[in-house]
Amino acid sequence: MSKVKPTGPIPQGYDDKDGELLIGGEKASELVDQHGSPLFIYSKDQLDKRFAGLRNAMPEQLHIHYAMKANPFAPLLSHMVSLADGIDIASGGELEMAIKAGAKPNHISFAGPGKRGEELLQAIRTGVTINIESPTECDRVLKISDREDVQPRMAVRVNPDFDLKGSGMKMGGGAKPFGMDVELVCPTVDRIVNAGALWRGFHIFAGSQALKADAIIETQQQTIKLAARLADAIGKAPDHVNLGGGFGIPYFPGDEQLDAGQIGEALRAELANLPKILANTQFAIELGRYLVGEAGVYLTKVVDRKVSQSQTFLVTDGGLHHQLAASGNFGTVVRRNYPAAIASKYTTETQEVVSIVGCLCTPLDRLNDNVEMPKAEVGDIVAVFCAGAYGASASPANFLGQGPAKEILVD
Ligand SMILES: *Cc1c(COP(=O)(O)O)cnc(C)c1O
């Protein structure tokens, strides 16, 4: 027998009814009967609660942006546009989606290395803020704007000379394709200002998926210091500083919820005691997974139950083509289990050890490995949690000709 492994922590706020998992007031089996399987369900109620909790924890004057690459599903995006102070995009495609979802151009900022000419043109014409990732990109924007006779809105994305400690994905501190090194910032801002473009400020993003408040607090303090140092060197105050994000969510056994209250308190103190040159600067944070990740559940039906060499497998009609991260991103060194449950037997005691796999013909297609679950039969429904971010749009839906899963937003 293989060793029993724990599942990841199930997010707070999910209730049950008649022994089943409830999402947005509906039972898992009803949702699947109505909408089919596999299915992504995002809960407005969960989105609202998360956003309100964060809003409450953060300083009043701080803007909270939604980084839409976490989840661009149109109904969810529209909802996030109604909640957030800004939308952060990273492609021309996302720009179109953000505008369609009702975001105002002056509330949109566009980051990302390798913006193509047509994307820059689209951004300039639409009037969104472009986060400039290199001096050459700066030149391209100025050239296109000149041709179009439009004053572009430009912020400079800085590759910080520090990183976010304990983050799952480092986006600063060292050689990076994102932003420009600190010593390039002043000449680039000078160039923007001298060309008559609108210089909006700085974008400084140091990393993602941190669960330690202390690490985020330290990074925010370093970010504010860096912004002040750069502004002093330029001799001009930035209207806007995007402090980045990095707020993580618990996915794996042992992970603990981030203490947003602690971050808010420290940031409140920081903003109350700013370096002089930043006294009138508007600060923002940009978050993806923290805002939407735990509000989504992926439901997939059991289509087969089989035993191989005394190990039981539940084979589902879903898999890594929809939930790549839960499978371990095409192989990780140590594969750990995402939070999962038998949604149709949510309150039943665990009865057996099973591996929950997808329907793809690859050994990598595992949703949960050697976990204790109630006994599930064909037709039962598996829930994989933390499916609200980097699920549907960040998985290879066309792998093996499977196609995408349906997505719905419920109250
Ligand atoms: C991906 C990304 C985000 C969102 O990251 P999360 O971990 O989902 O919060 C925010 N800002 C930038 C610049 C990004 O690239």
Q: Per-residue pLDDT tens for 152-202? A: 999 999 999 888 887 766 666 788 999 999 999 999 999 999 999 999 999
Q: Which ligand 1 atom is at minimum distance from the Cα of 203?
A: 13
What's the 167 CA to ligand 1 centre distance in angstroms? 12
Stretch 38-48: mean pLDDT, rounded?
98
Q: Whose Cα sits closest to atom 4 in ligand 1?
A: 288
What's the 339 CA to ligand 1 centre distance in angstroms? 22
CA atoms within 13 A on the CB side of 286: 26
Q: Which ligand 1 atom is at minimum distance from the Cα of 390?
A: 8
Q: Which ligand 1 atom is at minimum distance from the Cα of 171?
A: 15
Q: Which ligand 1 atom is at minimum distance from the Cα of 90?
A: 15
Q: Whose Cα sits closest to atom 13 in ligand 1?
A: 205
| pLDDT tens readout for residues 60-119 | 999 999 999 999 999 999 999 999 999 999 999 999 999 999 999 999 999 999 999 999
- Tell whether the model's pLDDT for residue 332 goes beyond 80: no
What's the 67 CA to ligand 1 centre distance in angstroms? 6
In the numeric block, which tokens belong to residue 234? 């330029």
Residue 5 CB neighbour total at 10 angstroms: 16
| pLDDT tens readout for residues 352-411 | 999 999 999 999 999 999 999 999 999 999 999 999 999 999 999 999 999 999 999 999
Q: Whose Cα sits closest to atom 15 in ligand 1?
A: 112
What pLDDT is attached to residue 172?
A: 67
What's the 365 CA to ligand 1 centre distance in angstroms? 26
What's the 286 CA to ligand 1 centre distance in angstroms? 7
What pLDDT is attached to residue 170?
A: 67
Q: Which residues line ligand 1 (CB under 6 A)?
A: 67, 69-70, 88, 111, 205, 208-209, 245, 286-290, 389
Task: Name the residue of 87, 170, 205 to mutate for ligand 1: max ligand atoms within 8 A of Cβ.
Answer: 205
What's the 44 CA to ligand 1 centre distance in angstroms? 21
Burial 118-149 (b: 16+ CB within 10 A, else e): ebbbbbbebebbbbbbbeebbebbbebbeeee
- Mean pLDDT (the chain) is 96
Question: CB-based contacts of 254: which residues, under 8 Å, 6+ apart?
Answer: none
Omega into 374 within 30° of 0, i.e. cis? no
Q: Which ligand 1 atom is at minimum distance from the Cα of 205?
A: 13
What's the 283 CA to ligand 1 centre distance in angstroms? 16
Q: Which ligand 1 atom is at minimum distance from the Cα of 293?
A: 8
What's the 87 CA to ligand 1 centre distance in angstroms? 11
| pLDDT tens readout for residues 340-351 | 999 999 999 999
What pLDDT is attached to residue 3?
A: 86
Q: How far apart are CA 386 and CA 134, in angstroms?
A: 34
What pLDDT is attached to residue 174?
A: 84
What pLDDT is attached to residue 281?
A: 98
What's the 150 CA to ligand 1 centre distance in angstroms? 29
**DSSP labels, 131-179:** EE-SHHHHHHHHHHHHHHT---EEEEEEE-SS--TT-SEE-SSSS-SSS
Measure Cα distances from 265 to 60, 213, 262, 367 in Å. 11, 11, 5, 38
In the numeric block, which tokens belong to residue 124? 């300039």
- Tell whether the model's pLDDT for residue 1 goes beyond 60: no
What's the 42 CA to ligand 1 centre distance in angstroms? 19
Q: Which ligand 1 atom is at minimum distance from the Cα of 247?
A: 9
